[in-house]
Structure 1
Amino acid sequence: MAEEELEEEPEGEDGEEASSSGGKKKLLIIVGAVVLLLIGAAAAVFFSGILDSEETEESAEKEGKEGAESEMEKKTYFVDLDEMIVNLNTTERRQSLLKLKVSLEVAEQKDVAVVRELTPRVVDNFQTYLRELRLDDLRGSAGMYRLREELLTRINIAVEPAKVKAVLFKEMIVQ
């Protein structure tokens, strides 16, 4: 019996070591999870802005008011051009027509007068460019985008001291 007890003790000691190493692993996993949870909570508090001071809130309010005032001062103006009907460049016997009505977006009131004064030059540039277009050039949204960008470039060259911000299509019909 004494021999049996001696043999059982080493097994018990090994069993304790196995259970204590398993306990250490569990403890490490729990501590790691808690640390990750704390890091996540700290990041959430930091990015949510809860810890921001009152000074930053006041400065943000001031910037917001200044931004609103500057937006009110920045009014846009629109200049409507007359409707244009242009023959498109085709290789077929059948004629293709483009009916176009645009509005020009201008940033300043003084530019409106300049654009209106130089409207004949703008229309001439439009007509010259549009007559060279083919039907395939106007297909899809990519064609519309390219047309808008090209017209904007030509307008800004024609009304050089003034600046046109955008070309807005009011009507565009291709037949």
Structure 2
Amino acid sequence: MPETGDTETAPKAKPSKRPLTIGIVLAFLGAAAGFYTMWSGLIPLGGGHGSIAQGPVAGATASDAPMGDLVFVPVVPVVVSVGQGAARSHLRFAAELEVKAAHKSDVENLMPRIVDVTNTYLRALKLADIEDAQALIRLRAQLLRRMQVVTGEGRINDLLIMEFVLN
């Protein structure tokens, strides 16, 4: 039989936030303690203080290798005309090539071809191409690739632009 009498409507008590706060604080303290334990080398998994940052990295590149076997070969400076008519300017370009010591003489012997490729590429540029904010990055990548093709794969590691002046 259903009750039709007065039912009490008592307000429900709010659950306490104290357990949640204690849990967050304990989680933070546990994470901090775990980090310190690994960082200080108390658990000898990584080799001691700072071992995470100092250990060898999987997939390390050749540029991470010691610099002992690298030499720099200067590229003959180039001056080219850029632009049309009254807007004509001159670009002065100088660079050095980072090569392995074993390939230095090969790269030096191919310098006339490297200068030719540099001249050809720079003369094809428009003034707007050079004035762009990302121009130097693109130009460096394009020239490096062209020089690597001329000298053969694996001879030139990098192109360092020493002078890039537009007059």
After TM superposition, the score normalised by the length of structure 1 is 0.70
Q: Deviations over 1:13-67 (max 9, x none)?
A: x9xx87x946xx3xx3222211221111112222332675124325x86x94878
5+ residue gaps, structure 1, are 1-13
State the partner residue of 1:165.
157
Distance 1:167 1:72, change over 3 A: closer
Residues matched between the structures, number = 150
- Which residue is equivalent to 1:99? 92
Describe the shift of the 1:141–1:111 C-alpha distance in structure 2 as closer, same or farther (beyond 3 A): farther
Which residue in the other structure is 2:118 paired with?
A: 126
Larger of the two Rg values belongs to structure: 1
Whether 2:77 is the aligned partner of 1:83: answer: yes
- Kindly tell me: are residues 47 and 145 of structure 1, through their superposed partners in 2, closer, same or farther at Cα, counting changes over 3 Å? same
3-state SS in 2 of match to 1:83: strand
Deviation at 1:71, TM superposition (A): 4.1
2:140 aligned residue (140, 148, 151): 148
Distance in 2 (CA, whole Å) between partners of 1:95 and 1:43 is: 63
Matched, 1:112 2:104: yes
Contact 2:41/2:47 (<8 A) preserved = no
Q: Give the alignment partner of residue 66 of structure 2, picking from 69, 72, 76.
A: 72
How large is the Cα RMSD of the aligned pairs?
A: 3.2
- The one-letter code sitting in structure 2 at the alignment partner of 1:152 is L
What SS does the corresponding residue of 2:47 show, helix, strand or coil? helix
Indicate the SS of the match to 1:40. Answer: helix
**CA distance in structure 1 between the aligned counterparts of 2:104 and 2:151, rounded to whole angstroms:** 10
Partner Cα distance (2:120, 2:72) in 1: 23
Q: Distance in 2 between matches of 1:45 and 1:92?
A: 70
> Shift of the alpha carbon at 1:113?
1.7
Gaps of 5+ in 2: 1-7, 58-63
